[in-house]
A = this chain, B = another copy of it.
């Protein structure tokens, strides 16, 4: 007898982001990047640490800085060690703001996801 296909329970998933004047201001990837910059004091090291191209990382940082009243990352080129980057207080607040909303969102997905599929209770052996 051919076994009927089974289907994994449908799962609710999603993304959130914070929009600014030119589109995305903060999202999951951007916030992780900010945290890596805080850790490495360098955009290039941060990018490397998450297998992201430096170019892309730089673009993201530039985009965030443009869209924020106060810069989230301050950079300096040249000098000892070649220069570097550091997270500002505003950057710190941005991280906190996003993770807080993100956490609430994950909770929403979890609880709302349970109400998704009105499944007939299986009568069989239980």
Binding site for B on A (CB under 8 A): 5, 7-8, 10-21, 25-26, 67-69, 97, 101, 104-105, 108-109, 112, 115-117
Contacts and interface: CB of A to CB of B under 8 A. Distances in A.
B8 A12 contact: no
Given A7-B21, A101-B116, A104-B112, 13 more contacts: A7-B20, A7-B69, A8-B21, A10-B19, A10-B20, A10-B26, A11-B18, A12-B18, A13-B16, A14-B15, A97-B117, A104-B108, A108-B108
Chain A interface SS verdict (over half): mixed
27 contacts: A7-B20, A7-B21, A7-B67, A7-B69, A8-B20, A8-B21, A10-B18, A10-B20, A10-B25, A11-B18, A11-B19, A12-B16, A12-B18, A12-B19, A12-B101, A13-B16, A13-B18, A14-B15, A14-B16, A14-B17, A15-B15, A97-B116, A97-B117, A101-B112, A101-B115, A101-B116, A105-B108
A-B complex: 5 closest residue pairs judged by Cβ atoms = A14-B16, A11-B19, A10-B18, A108-B108, A7-B69
